[in-house]
């Protein structure tokens, strides 16, 4: 269907933001995994990076299924973040501290409320529930790996 005949869902911007952020997170985390000397941290980062990349692709596909395209928005911090996380000269401990500061808010609470309120079409609601479950599991895995880095650090 053409976007000219499609009604734009109110949540299209959210899906677009998730697609972009998740794809970029996959790039960052793969870069970090490539330079860490810690095999346990590398395993965690590799798993989470694969999930993030997958989320970006799945949300892109969902946007296209709805009859739209991902609107790429430049991330002014992308290159800086990639350089930091991909640098072998910055310790894992420093990177862990940065990542922990970035994950302090509950991004998912409002989305879960919107799911309960029936804001999303049924397929998108299921997709978001799956995504949130994986994100929470990835966060738990990362926290455990980061705690191990701090304990050794």
Contacts of 40 (CB under 8 A, 6+ apart): 145, 148
Structurally, the chain folds into a number of domains equal to 1
pLDDT in tens, 55-101: 999 999 999 999 999 999 999 999 999 999 999 999 999 999 877 66
User: Which pLDDT does position 100 carry in this prediction?
Assistant: 65
In a domain, residue 2? The reply is no
Higher-pLDDT residue of 102 and 58 is: 58
CA distance 68 to 5: 11
Q: Which domain holds residue 137?
A: 12-152
Residue 5 counted as domain residue: no
Q: Is residue 31 part of a domain?
A: yes
Q: In degrees, to the nearest 5, what angle opens at C-alpha 50 toward C-alphas 45 and 51?
A: 100
Q: 11: closest CA among 105, 113, 139? A: 113
Average pLDDT of the residues in 32-60: 98
Please indicate, yes or no, if residue 56 is contained in any of the structural domains. Answer: yes
The helix-helix angle for 122-152 and 92-102 (nearest 10°) equals 140
- The reply to whether 7 falls in a domain is no
**Does the predicted model carry a pTM greater than 0.75?**
yes
In a domain, 65, yes or no: yes
Please report the sign of the dihedral spanned by the C-alpha atoms of residue 127, residue 130, residue 133, residue 134.
negative
């Amino acid at each position: 269907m053409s976007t000219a005949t499609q009604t734009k869902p109110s949540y299209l911007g959210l899906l677009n933001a998730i697609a972009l952020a998740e794809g970029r997170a996959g790039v960052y985390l793969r870069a970090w995994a490539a330079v860490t000397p810690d095999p346990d941290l590398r395993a965690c980062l590799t798993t989470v990076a694969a999930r993030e990349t997958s989320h970006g692709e799945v949300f892109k596909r969902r946007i296209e299924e709805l009859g739209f395209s991902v609107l790429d928005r430049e991330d002014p911090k992308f290159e800086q973040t990639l350089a930091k996380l991909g640098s072998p000269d910055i310790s894992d401990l420093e990177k862990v501290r940065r990542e922990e500061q970035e994950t302090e808010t509950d991004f998912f609470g409002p989305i879960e409320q919107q799911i309960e309120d029936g804001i999303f079409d049924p397929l998108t609601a299921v997709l978001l529930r799956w995504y949130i479950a994986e994100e929470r599991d990835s966060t738990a895995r990362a926290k455990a790996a980061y705690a191990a880095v701090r304990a050794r650090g």
